[in-house]
Structure 1
Amino acid sequence: MRVALIGGAGFIGTNLAIHLSKNEDVTIVDRSEKYFSTMKSLDLPVKYLVAPFELDANFDEQVKNQDIVYHLASTVIPGNSNNNIANELEANIIVTCKLLDACVRQGVKKVVFISSGGAVYGKQGECPIDEDTLSYPISSYGIEKITIEKLLYLYRYIHGLDYRVVRLANPYGPYQRPNGKLGVVTTFVYEMLNDRKLQVYGDGNVVRDFIYIEDAVKAIDKVVQGESNYKTFNIGSGMGVSVNNLIAVIEHTLKKTAKVEYIHGRSADVPVNYLDINRYESIYGRLVETPLKEGIKKTADFMRDFEL
C-alpha cells in the first residue's frame, strides 16, 4: 500500500513512519526540509516531499498515487487555540476541505484523521468517555477537530471517500520534542532529568489519559487496516491520571524529586478527561502494552541515549 503522511514530520508522524515503513510504501509530506532531519537520521525507507498545508497548496501533488492519506497537519497549539479563533479555523478547516477535494480527484481509497480524544469532547460529567458521547468543545482546537470529523462523514456521503477517525489521548515517548508546548509527560521527564522546575497549570488536579506512542501507532494501524463498520475509535489507556499523580510516578521512576511551580490555569483545559476504549478492544484486542511507569522509563532512556 502507498501511504502519505500529511504533516508527517512531527512526533506522531515520525513514529507512524517507523512502524508503517516496515510494510508500506510511505511518503512524508511537510512544509520544510529541516523538519525531516530526525527521520533522515534514522535512515528510514521512506520518500520525502516538501509542501505546505495552506489554501494555495497543490494537494493533488501531495496525494497523487496514494492509497491511504493520514491527515496529521495542524497549525494549532491546543492550549493557545482560543487566542485567534477565526484564523485558526480558516487555516485548518478550509484547508482540509482542499485536501479532501484532492483526495477525491486522485482516487485515494481512505483518509485517516488523527483527532483529539480530549478536545472534541469538552467538559463531560462522567468518565471514561465513549465515542457516542456528545461533543461540547471549549476550545477552537476542539471545534476544528470535530468539524473535520464531520467533513469526513460528508465526503463519504457525497463522494464515497472512506475514512477513519482516531480520537487520540495524550501520547508520549520517543521523538516528542520536550519544549513544553505539547506533551506533559515528555516535558516533565526532560525537565526532571535536567534538574529544572516543572510548571503546572492550575492546581495539578487536572486528569488526563496518557498512552505510550508505540502502543498508539500499533492501535492506529489496526484501526486503519481493519474492516469494522465503525469509523471512529478512541485510542488511549482507558485510565485517568492527575498531573500531580503523574509527577509522583515520574519521581518514583527516575528516583528524583521534582521542583514544581503552579501557575494560572488555562481556559481551554477541561478538568477531567479519559477515554473508554471498549470499542477498540472488543474488535482488536488489548490496546495498552506499556504501563505508564514503563513508558516513562523508556522515554527517559531514549533521552539519555540521544543526550537530550
Structure 2
Amino acid sequence: MKSVIIGGAGFIGTNLAIHLARETDDQITIIDREDYYFDTLKSLNLPRITYKAAPFSIDADFDEQVKGQDVVYHLASTVIPGTSNQNVPAELEANIIVTAKLLDTCVRQEVKKVVFISSGGAVYGKKGTCPIPEDTVTYPISSYGIQKLAIEKLLYLYHYQENLDYRVIRLANPYGPYQRPNGRLGVVTTFVYKALTDGKLVVYGDGSVVRDFIYIEDAVRAINKIVNGNSDLRIFNLGSGKGTSVNELISDIKESIASELEVEHIATRAADVPVNYLDISRYEANYGKLNPLSLKDGILKTAQFMKETGMVK
C-alpha cells in the first residue's frame, strides 16, 4: 500500500512514519514545508520512505502530492489551540479552504482513504459529560476546534457526494519521543523536560484542568488499526480513557523523575476546557483493548528518550 503523510515531519507524523516503516510494508511519502524538517526522520534510516518539501496552502499542487496514493494522512495545521483565536478569518482560510482543495484532489486522483487527525478535546468544548463519547454534541470554544470540526464535516460531505472513504481520529493529548518541549503543545513532554533541566514549571490557572494523556506509541498503533480495520464507523475517539489533572501530572513527575520542582501559576487561558477525557469504548469494541501505557511509565520512557538522544544531560 502507498501512504502519504501531509504535515508528516512533526511529532505525530514522525512517530506514525516510524510505526508504518517498522510494522507494515507501506511505501511512505512524507510531505512538509521545508527540507530541513525531515532531518530527524532521515537520521533514522527507515525503509521505504521518500520525502517531499511542499506547502500546505491554497496554491499547493495537491495532484502531485497525492497522485498514486492509496491512503492520505492529513496532519497539516497552521495553528495550535492556545493561540487559535488570534486571527480567526486567516486561520479558517488557511486550514478549511485548503483542506477542501485537498479533498477535491483526492477525489480526482482516486485516493482510497483519507485519515484526518482531529482533536479529542477542542471539538467537544465544555458541553460534554466525561468520559466523552463520539456522539456528544460539539460546541468548540476555540477557532482550532471549529476548524477541526469543519474538516470532519467536509469529509462527511465528500463521502456522501463522491464516495471518498475516510477516518477521523479525535485524538486526546499525545506525548513522548520527538515532541518538542517548547511549552506550546504537550504539557507532559514540556514538564518532563523542565524537570530534567531547570526544574521550573509554569502552570496555567490553579492546576485543576483535567486532560486525557496518551503515550504516542499507543496512539500510532491504534491509528494504524483504525485505518486498516473493517468497521463501518468513521469517527473514533483515541486517548487513555482516563482524566488526569495538571496537579496530578506534577505529582507523578515528582514521584518518577524529580522530587524537587518549582511551580509558577499564571493566568488561565480562555480557550482551555476545564475537564476533558474521552470515552474510548467504541475503539475497544471494534479493535480490542487499548491497554495504554500508564502515565508514570510514559513519563519514565519520555525522560529516558530525552537522555538517550542528548536533549538533556
Q: TM-score category by the smaller chain?
A: over 0.9
Measure, in 1, the Cα distance between the counterparts of 2:81 and 2:181.
16
Query: In the alignment, residue 93 of structure 1 is paired with which amino acid?
Result: I
Measure, in 2, the Cα distance between the counterparts of 1:177 and 1:107.
35
What SS class does the counterpart of residue 192 from structure 2 fall into?
A: helix
TM-score normalised according to structure 1 size: 0.99
Aligned counterpart for 1:44 among listed residues 33, 46, 65? 46
Query: Once superposed, which parts of structure 1, at least 4 consecutive aligned residues long, lie more than 3 Å away?
Result: none
Pairing 1:157-172 to 2, within 5 Å after superposition? 157-172=160-175
Contact 2:240 2:292 in 1 (8 A): no
Pairing 1:1-308 to 2, within 5 Å after superposition? 1-22=1-22, 23=24, 24-45=26-47, 46-308=49-311
TM-score normalised according to structure 2 size: 0.97
Measure, in 2, the Cα distance between the counterparts of 1:197 and 1:222.
38
Measure, in 1, the Cα distance between the counterparts of 2:286 and 2:175.
24
Contact 2:214 2:240 in 1 (8 A): yes
Query: In the alignment, residue 162 of structure 2 is paired with which amino acid?
Result: H
Contact 1:6 1:71 in 2 (8 A): yes
Measure, in 2, the Cα distance between the counterparts of 1:224 and 1:288.
19
Q: Which moved more, 1:253-262 or 1:97-106?
A: 253-262
Measure, in 1, the Cα distance between the counterparts of 2:151 and 2:58.
16
Query: In the alignment, residue 181 of structure 2 is paired with which amino acid?
Result: P
Deviations 1:77-105 (A, max 9, x none): 11000111111111000000011111011
Measure, in 2, the Cα distance between the counterparts of 1:156 and 1:21.
28
Q: Which moved more, 1:191-200 or 1:104-113?
A: 191-200
Cα deviation for residue 256 of structure 1 reads 2.4
Query: In the alignment, residue 138 of structure 1 is paired with which amino acid?
Result: I
Query: In the alignment, residue 261 of structure 2 is paired with which amino acid?
Result: A
Cα deviation for residue 125 of structure 1 reads 4.9
Measure, in 1, the Cα distance between the counterparts of 2:16 and 2:92.
26
- List alignment gaps of at least 5 residues for structure 1: none
Deviations 1:8-38 (A, max 9, x none): 0000000000011132110000010010010
Measure, in 2, the Cα distance between the counterparts of 1:297 and 1:209.
18
Contact 2:207 2:246 in 1 (8 A): yes
Cα deviation for residue 281 of structure 1 reads 0.5
Measure, in 2, the Cα distance between the counterparts of 1:125 and 1:214.
27
What SS class does the counterpart of residue 262 from structure 1 fall into?
A: strand
Q: Which moved more, 1:139-148 or 1:286-295?
A: 286-295
Measure, in 1, the Cα distance between the counterparts of 2:133 and 2:116.
18
Cα deviation for residue 286 of structure 1 reads 1.1
Cα deviation for residue 288 of structure 1 reads 2.9
Query: In the alignment, residue 118 of structure 2 is paired with which amino acid?
Result: S
Query: In the alignment, residue 8 of structure 1 is paired with which amino acid?
Result: G
Measure, in 1, the Cα distance between the counterparts of 2:50 and 2:17.
10
Measure, in 2, the Cα distance between the counterparts of 1:41 and 1:177.
17
- List alignment gaps of at least 5 residues for structure 2: none
Q: Which moved more, 1:141-150 or 1:42-51?
A: 42-51
Measure, in 1, the Cα distance between the counterparts of 2:128 and 2:309.
42
Measure, in 2, the Cα distance between the counterparts of 1:21 and 1:222.
15
Contact 2:128 2:137 in 1 (8 A): no
Measure, in 1, the Cα distance between the counterparts of 2:18 and 2:258.
31
Query: In the alignment, residue 236 of structure 1 is paired with which amino acid?
Result: G
Q: Percent identity?
A: 68
Q: Which moved more, 1:73-82 or 1:281-290?
A: 281-290
Deviations 1:32-81 (A, max 9, x none): 00100100111112100110000000000010110000000000011000
Query: In the alignment, residue 144 of structure 1 is paired with which amino acid?
Result: Q
